[in-house]
Structure 1
Amino acid sequence: MKRISMLGMLIISFLIINQQVSTACTNFLITKGASIDGSTMITYAADSHTLYGELYYQPAADYPEGAMRKIYEWDTGTYLGEIPQPAHTYSVIGNMNEFQVAIGETTYGGRSELASQSGAIMDYGSLIYVTLQRAKTAREAIQVMTDLVAEFGYYSSGESFSISDPEEVWILEMIGKGEGEKGAVWVAQRIPDGFISGHANQARITTFPLSDSKNCLYAKDVISFAREKGWYKGTNKDFSFSDVYAPVDFGGARFCDARVWAGFNKVASGMQSYTEYAKGTVEHGGENNFPTNRMPLWVKPNKQLSVQDVMGMMRDHFEGTDLDMTQDIGAGPYQLPYRWRGLTWQVDSVEYCNERAISTQQTGFSFVAQSRNWLPDPIGGILWFGVDDAYSTCYVPMYCGITEIPECFKVGNGDMLTFSETSAFWTFSTVANYAYLRYSDMIQDIQLVQKELEDKFVAYIPVIDKAAEDLYTNKGKKQARKFITQYSVNEANNATKHWKKLGQYLMVKYTDGNIKREKDGKFERTETGMPASPIFAGYPDWWYKAIVNATGDHFKVTGSSH
């Protein structure tokens, strides 16, 4: 997710200047052979301090010859121009269309001289949503995206895209050609079956096969363009897209690739050997002086992953690693794994950083897009959709063939400056922000409800699938889509109501820094009906010691009486 015009080569310096903005978004890509049920999955966390969590909907439509579509930059709403409409466009729910094609992204920025292109129309966000209206497969989506930027210019800086359909999962990395040029250079690689991949604001494709069109596609000038600019002099086979167009530095490793490392670490062995790289140490060598300790583009998980395993990959603060955000003093007495921005800060002219984890407070929405080839397309695709902080959200199943958006997710139901009582984003954000006050206790209550709801959804999905498939076969597509629409809408609105009750429960339980006593699932009362005396939980011993170490005898109690 890009809320800035470019990340640039000097990521740390940029972040110092733009303290309210952070490196954003994380994607993971799961192939059929790496999933427990043979589905493909991609994930996306759309992280931005100004992005509101809502579910976009573009219904299928027919257009007369000569019809045009206006293009507005997704990040800013700036009008960029027009492109011709095709005769027919497909239905799109969020980032997934009715043919189970899904697209996510992360911005890596890359070479600053390539970040602007006068007259360009297609920004990365519009590229995603226009393509979803036009492509029936992942491979076709790559063709549509690259054709669009070639014809209309590429408005954004460097982007990594995750693209999936029920059969294949691809990563596409693209960067514009800069002023005086048109279009972009790019490389796309298919993730081998049985493997998983990921990207998080750092270009990840290095060398790639030049003669394997089944598994690798690329712009014909991706290498020659770099040679013309004087950025690469080596052999074609040693050309590295990332190392030429978006070289990794401390920030690219520590703030970006570290998130991929953390997600891989949850499901695959051997990631410990990349710990120093994740901490920002980038070693160089070889004929081209490229990095020598980067992580592989894909890894094989220790076991085949369920949709809930993949949700779990999106819920991480580096727990159990050297970067664990719950363990340093910045977490406070209640192990809060969040640090308020900026991302970097200084003490006595020395620069330090906060960690940038997969789960972060400024997420607008996130999803796990699941495509299943054994079901009709409108039923086979599920966008497991959640708003606000991925760690404390609840992923609700939105079938890709639905024709209505739940009120709680609807565009226009509140925004970042307008609170709405019926908005899922504001409901989940209210719970999360209250939990930040006493995180180690409240997150346990939140996770109980989160698990209860998500377990229920996962358990019911086979039943809903079967009923929808029977309707599709016997009553037709329209009736099947009506059924899955009713299910998705009801579950989303009910989950939001459930979360509102959770917020009320947390407010009562943790008011004034105390913890209410509970018995048999209810708050405890005395025999006369009065509230039982609460637990005065105070602070952990290490926190009291830290106070004494910082203040000496300032709070010391003297004298013999109390």
Structure 2
Amino acid sequence: MNDHFSSCTSILVGKNASTDHSILIGRNEDAKAAWPKRMVVHAHGSLSREFVSKDTGLKLELPANSARYTATPEWTDKEGLFEEDGINEYDVAMSATESAYSNDLVLGFDPLVKSGLNEEAMITVVLPFIKTAREGVKRLGQLIEQYGTGETNGVLFADNNEAWYFESGGGHYWVAQRIPDDSYAVVANQLAIQEIDFDDPDNFMFQPNIRDFVAAHNLNPDPDGFNFRHIFGTANRSDAIYSTPRVWYGHQMFNPHQCADEMPESQDLPFIVKPEHQLSLLDVQSYLGSHFQGTPFDPLAVGKDPRKGKYRPVSLAKTQESHILQMNRPSGINIHWLAMGVTAESTYVPFFNGITDVLSPYKRGKLPSQDSSAYWTFKNAGVLVDAQMHDFLPQLEEVQHQLNQAFIRAIAKVDQEAPTIQNMAKRQHYLTEQSKSLASLALKKYRQLTAQLLTQLTDYSPLNFDTDEKL
């Protein structure tokens, strides 16, 4: 099984729960500490009609006329593409996947399918062929019903109207829930969706025979209702240490009063929550870059508190990339935000939807490290900061603040200028060049930071010696 089936943390924010009425879906892609990612833009109609998965061997005939879409594939396709996240030309966003686990009882009656549709292929066979988030849920669900899946996963969808969270359970069964406009959800490697209302098609979608399957095998542990998490998911000690604390921390960030009584290891944390204040893009970035700051569990905290590092943090050394797909922006220009490497030590760079190309370093990424790769530019700075975290972190954070402010100013200008460009080809060129310029600025700042840290680090050698100047 591929190493990707191990991690990730996700967040979804409805349009009335955000400060500017954006719909935000984001995720940390966690797998290996050194496993480069790239960014690509697939042109309209560029995909082959036949798809063969290098992960499972699944063969599919794809529809004609694939849409243009952004994606972040692996540095090698030896084990598959793992395109992970993107926005297509119809302003539909998709992020796949949030790894989760089904319980043994469910898997006994509906085993995972080794030759099925897995994370590796989901973006590639779904995102280029949908025009709404609901269409994405429907297409992915139908593919899993027909071909099965070898993993239990959560998948995020959004368009300019709504956000959906999709979860598979077992080899063929699935449900999906619309995120209410006034709410958010954070998910961390557990099946998250709770009660399903089968009479509410506006807010729930599901495999048509799922109720019959559950009834036939007596899978429902509750006397009433249909709680997908209870029926299909897990709630063990591993979940309490690895998964639920990240959900708890998200609630503490956005609902510190309402959720004050929640505990990190609780197995009953709610999936859907209304925030106590409107969430900004920076709030979402902060959550995905978090590591239990302000709690005894922060692995970076000073001191020897035995609780330090007890729980798996949101931001992890094994994060390959983190993304936030920002839809329904007031200007109509949506943004694929991408942070290469460790989220807490990287910076989210904006790529405007409609671009036709990305800056060359973002297309590169190999093993071992290469100076010309954007992935390695951000990773290298993070590794140097790790060497002397408490001395060097303030310098990194200052660069992050500078870039955030520069991006906000630049986006405001693009929001004014781009809509005035009527010719579509010229507008695409403008958005592409603006995205390249901002990506170039981020790389420049991080390379300068790396040079500065490397210079300072030379004086931290254990071979240093305080010489008596009188000698």
TM over 0.5: yes
Q: Which residue of 2 aligns with 1:87?
A: 64
Correspondent of 2:21 among 24, 38, 63: 38
Q: CA deviation at 1:264?
A: 2.5
Counterpart CA distance in 1 for 2:4 and 2:21 is 37
Question: Are residue 273 (structure 1) and residue 261 (structure 2) matched?
Answer: yes
Kindly provide the amino acid, as one letter, of the partner of residue 373 in structure 2.
Answer: S
Q: Please say which structure displays the higher CA radius of gyration.
A: 1
Kindly provide the amino acid, as one letter, of the partner of residue 106 in structure 1.
Answer: E
Q: CA deviation at 1:37?
A: 0.8
Q: Secondary structure at the match of 1:189?
A: strand
Q: Secondary structure at the match of 1:367?
A: strand
Q: CA deviation at 1:231?
A: 2.1
Q: Secondary structure at the match of 1:106?
A: strand
Counterpart CA distance in 1 for 2:10 and 2:434 is 27
Correspondent of 1:191 among 179, 200, 204: 179
Counterpart CA distance in 2 for 1:451 and 1:173 is 36
Cα 1:233/1:420, change in 2 over 3 Å: closer
Question: Are residue 484 (structure 1) and residue 426 (structure 2) matched?
Answer: no
Task: Tell me, yes or no, if the aligned pair for 1:227 and 1:233 is still in contact at 8 Å.
Answer: no
Q: Which residue of 2 aligns with 1:370?
A: 326
Counterparts of 1:253-402 in structure 2 under 5 Å?
253-269=240-256, 270-275=258-263, 278=264, 280=265, 282=267, 294-327=268-301, 354-372=310-328, 374-376=330-332, 380-402=333-355
Counterparts of 1:223-262 in structure 2 under 5 Å?
223-232=211-220, 237-262=224-249
Counterparts of 1:395-474 in structure 2 under 5 Å?
395-410=348-363, 413-415=364-366, 417-471=367-421, 473=422
Q: Which residue of 2 aligns with 1:106?
A: 98
Task: Tell me, yes or no, if the aligned pair for 1:231 and 1:244 is still in contact at 8 Å.
Answer: yes
Q: CA deviation at 1:477?
A: 1.2
Counterpart CA distance in 2 for 1:455 and 1:494 is 12
Task: Tell me, yes or no, if the aligned pair for 2:170 and 2:232 is still in contact at 8 Å.
Answer: no
Q: Which residue of 1 aligns with 2:450?
A: 503
Counterpart CA distance in 2 for 1:206 and 1:101 is 25
Give per-residue Cα distances to partners, 1:298-336, cap 9 Å, x unaligned.
Answer: 11222212211211111211111242223375799xxxx
How many matched pairs? 442
Q: CA deviation at 1:254?
A: 2.3
Kindly provide the amino acid, as one letter, of the partner of residue 191 in structure 1.
Answer: I
Counterpart CA distance in 2 for 1:220 and 1:307 is 36
Q: Which residue of 1 aligns with 2:152?
A: 158
Task: Tell me, yes or no, if the aligned pair for 1:202 and 1:246 is still in contact at 8 Å.
Answer: yes
Give per-residue Cα distances to partners, 1:251-291, cap 9 Å, x unaligned.
Answer: 2132112112212221223333122xx2x354xxxxxxxxx
Q: CA deviation at 1:368?
A: 1.1
Counterparts of 1:16-27 in structure 2 under 5 Å?
23-27=6-10
Work out the percentage of aligned pairs sharing the same amino acid. Answer: 24
Counterpart CA distance in 1 for 2:350 and 2:395 is 22
Counterpart CA distance in 2 for 1:115 and 1:489 is 46
Counterpart CA distance in 2 for 1:243 and 1:142 is 22
Structure 2 spans left out of the alignment, 5+ residues: 72-84, 467-471
Give per-residue Cα distances to partners, 1:192-219, cap 9 Å, x unaligned.
Answer: 1111111111111121212110111111
Q: CA deviation at 1:79?
A: 5.4
Counterpart CA distance in 2 for 1:260 and 1:507 is 36
Counterpart CA distance in 2 for 1:438 and 1:234 is 51
Correspondent of 2:39 among 33, 55, 62: 55
Q: Which residue of 2 aligns with 1:520?
A: none
Counterpart CA distance in 2 for 1:255 and 1:239 is 25
Cα 1:98/1:39, change in 2 over 3 Å: same
Counterpart CA distance in 1 for 2:330 and 2:294 is 38
Cα 1:443/1:2, change in 2 over 3 Å: farther
Counterpart CA distance in 2 for 1:500 and 1:373 is 31
Question: Are residue 68 (structure 1) and residue 59 (structure 2) matched?
Answer: no
Question: Are residue 134 (structure 1) and residue 129 (structure 2) matched?
Answer: yes
Q: CA deviation at 1:47?
A: 0.6
Counterpart CA distance in 1 for 2:227 and 2:90 is 33
Cα 1:281/1:303, change in 2 over 3 Å: closer
Q: Secondary structure at the match of 2:153?
A: strand
Give per-residue Cα distances to partners, 1:58-104, cap 9 Å, x unaligned.
Answer: 221078xxx732232xxxx4351321221211111122222222222
Task: Tell me, yes or no, if the aligned pair for 1:99 and 1:381 is still in contact at 8 Å.
Answer: no
| Structure 1 segments (4+ residues) deviating >6 Å | none
TM-score (structure 1 length as normaliser): 0.74
Task: Tell me, yes or no, if the aligned pair for 2:418 and 2:430 is still in contact at 8 Å.
Answer: yes
Counterpart CA distance in 2 for 1:406 and 1:375 is 24
Q: Secondary structure at the match of 1:436?
A: helix
Q: Secondary structure at the match of 1:223?
A: helix
TM-score (structure 2 length as normaliser): 0.88
Counterpart CA distance in 1 for 2:43 and 2:35 is 23
Correspondent of 2:140 among 141, 145, 152: 145
- Identify which range, 218-227 or 478-487, moves more after superposition: 218-227
Counterpart CA distance in 2 for 1:392 and 1:485 is 26
Cα 1:54/1:118, change in 2 over 3 Å: closer
Task: Tell me, yes or no, if the aligned pair for 2:319 and 2:343 is still in contact at 8 Å.
Answer: yes
Q: CA deviation at 1:234?
A: 5.0
Cα 1:107/1:382, change in 2 over 3 Å: same
Counterpart CA distance in 2 for 1:488 and 1:115 is 44
Counterpart CA distance in 1 for 2:38 and 2:196 is 37
Kindly provide the amino acid, as one letter, of the partner of residue 155 in structure 1.
Answer: T
Q: CA RMSD in A?
A: 2.5
Kindly provide the amino acid, as one letter, of the partner of residue 117 in structure 1.
Answer: V
Cα 1:331/1:54, change in 2 over 3 Å: farther
Cα 1:326/1:51, change in 2 over 3 Å: same
Cα 1:119/1:162, change in 2 over 3 Å: closer
Task: Tell me, yes or no, if the aligned pair for 1:263 and 1:316 is still in contact at 8 Å.
Answer: no
Cα 1:205/1:370, change in 2 over 3 Å: same
Counterpart CA distance in 2 for 1:148 and 1:362 is 30
Task: Tell me, yes or no, if the aligned pair for 1:2 and 1:106 is still in contact at 8 Å.
Answer: no
Counterpart CA distance in 1 for 2:94 and 2:2 is 15
Counterpart CA distance in 2 for 1:314 and 1:2 is 23
Q: Secondary structure at the match of 2:343?
A: coil
